[in-house]
Amino acid sequence: MSAPPTKSPATPQATLPLAGVRVLELGTAWAGPFCGRLLSDLGAEVIKIESRRRLDTRGPAAPPPGSGTYPDGLAGETPWNRAALFHERNRGKLSLALELDQPDGREVMLALARSSNIVLENFSPRVLPQMRVDWSNLSRVNPALVMISMSGFGQTGPERDYVAYGPTLEQASGLASLMGYADGPPMSSGLYFPDVISGTLAAGLAVAALRGARATGKGTYIDLGEIEAVRWMLGHLTLAAQTGSRAGTARLGNRDEWRAPQGCYPASGDDAWVVLTVETDDQWQAMTATMGLPRLAAEYPTARERRTHHDEIDRAVHDWIARRTAEAVVADLIAAGIPAGQVASVDQVVANEHLTARKAFDQHPIPGSHARTVAGGFWTFDGQRLGMRFRASDLGEHNEYVLREVLGLDDARIEALAKSGAVGRMPRELEAQ
C-alpha cells in the first residue's frame, strides 16, 4: 500500500467498486483533487495530470526556509514532493506531469482520453476551451467518455467567469448571511465546505454516469456549479423565504431553529468547550434531572417554551458546566442520553478511540521519517475501509508508465516529448536555471 505502482496498476480486480475504471484528473486546489481522492478510494486508477509551470498544492519549488507544511519542517531536495496538504488530497493517484498548452502535450491528453472512462476538472470555464481539451474535443475522440466540470458558478450564464474561492461561494450562496454569532456580523467558515461538498457530489455523479455510458455507449458531460451545490442544500429556505417563515432570516450562533436548548458552553480549562442538543422533551427531563434542576423541566416542558426562554436556560447550563471538566460533563450527559460532546482539537481527533477502532484515518509514508496521519476513507464497504491505497506520487512519477504502458509510445516518441518540455519531472522554474 505504501508505494505507488509503477507497472499496470489498473489490473482489473473485483476487490474494489471501481476497479478497472480509469480517471483523468485535471484538478487544482480543492474540489477537483478531493473528487479524485474519493474516486481513488473507491478503486479507480486516477491519473493526475499536472503542470510543471503552475504546481497544484505542492507548494513553491523553492520555499523560503521555515515555511510550508513539510514533515519535520524539512523541505528536502524536492519540496514539491513533500507538502502535507498535497499528500492528503492526492494520495492514491498517479502523476503525469504534462503541459496541455503545448501541441504535443495536447496530443497525449487526447490519446489518454481515448482510453479513459472519466475526466474531471475544476478550472475556471475559460481554461480548457483555450487549450482545446474541453468536452467538445475529448468527446470526439471518446464518445463514451464521462466528463465532469466543477466551477464556482457553472459553465453558462452571465456569472460563469466570476472568480470564486470557498468564501466567495459561502457569501454569494446565502450561507454566510446565516453564519455567525447572533449579535455579530456574517462570517466565513474558513473550511472551504463548498469545495468539499462539490468534490464529493461530483464523485457520485461521475460514478453514476458510468452506468449510463455503459448502457448506451454514449458518454455524458456534467456541469456542476459549486454555488448551486451549496444553494441546493438550502433549498428548504428558498421555499421558506416565499411562504412567510422566519427560517433562514437570522444568524442563530450555535442555536437551532427548532431544537432547544442547543449550544456551546465553556468548561473548566483552557479553550475547553462542551456542545449539546436537546432533541426531545424526554431528553430535557433527563438533562435537568442530571443538572439537579428539575424545576426547569417543569417550567419549560416544550421546545417552543425552551426557545423562548433560551437565554435563561443557557445561564443555568453555563453555570452547571463552567466549573467542571469537559470530560465529566460529557460523560454525565451521554449517560442521560443527551447528544453531547467536546469541541475536539485536532490532536484529540487523531487520537480518538472510536475513529482509531474504525480505522478512519490513514498513515502516509514519508521517505526517511515515520508515517504521518492523513484524512482517511469516508466509508466501509462490506466491513472493509476504503481509504488510501498508496502514497501521493512525486511530480511526474508515472510519466513513463502512462506514456509507455497506457499509450504504447516508443522510446523515440517519449524522448521527443521530454525534449520539447511536454513532460518532465522538475518544476519549470528550476529547469530554466
Partner 1 sequence: MGVLDAAAAATPSNATGPYEGIRVVSLAQSVTATVASSLLATLGARVILVEPPEGSALRRLGPFPEDVPDREKSAAFLHLARGFESVTLDLSRHGGRSLLASICRGADLVIEEEPPSDARCVRETLRAAREREDATCYSIVSLSPFGLTGPWAERPSSQLVMFALSGLMANVGEATREPLQLPDSLIDSFEGVAAFTAATGALEWQARTGEPHDVDCAAFDILASSNPHAISRFSYTGLMQKRVGNLLPQGYPWTLLPCKDGHIGVIAPDRDWDVFCLWMERPDLTQDPRFATRVARSQHIPELEAVLTEWTMRYTKEELYREGQLRHLPFGAVLTIEDSLQSVQLVERGFLRAIESGDCPPLLYAEPPFVTGENRPSLEPAPALGRDTAKLLREFAGIDTPVELTHLRQEGVL
114 vs 379 by CB, closer to partner 1: 379
Q: Smaller CB distance to partner 1: residue 334 or 416?
A: 334
Q: Which of 88, 137, 84, 89 is nearest to 109 (CA)?
A: 137
Q: Smallest gap, in angstroms, from Cβ of residue 419 to partner 1? A: 32
Task: Output 167 or 421, the one with its CB closest to partner 1.
Answer: 167
Q: Taking the complex as a whole, how short is the minimal distance between the CB of residue 281 and partner 1, in angstroms? A: 13
Q: In whole angstroms, give the CA distance from residue 216 to residue 138.
A: 18
The distance of closest approach from Cβ of residue 148 to partner 1 in the complex, given in angstroms and rounded to an integer, is 8
Give the nearest distance from C-beta 139 to partner 1 in angstroms: 11
**C-beta closer to partner 1: residue 375 or 418:** 375
Nearer to partner 1, 98 or 146 (CB): 146
Q: How far is the CB of 322 from partner 1 (least distance, A)?
A: 12
Q: Cell 480549562 sits at which residue?
A: 269
Nearer to partner 1, 371 or 416 (CB): 371
Q: Which is nearer to partner 1, 133 or 229 (CB)?
A: 229
| Minimum CB distance to partner 1, residue 98 (Å) | 26
Smallest distance from the beta carbon of 416 to partner 1, in angstroms?
Answer: 35
Q: State residue 302 phi and psi, 5-degree precision.
A: -110, 160
Q: How far apart are the first and last CA of the chain?
A: 36
> How near is the Cβ of 146 to partner 1 at its closest, in Å?
9
Nearer residue to partner 1 within complex by CB, 5 or 253 = 253
Cis before 261? omega within 30: yes
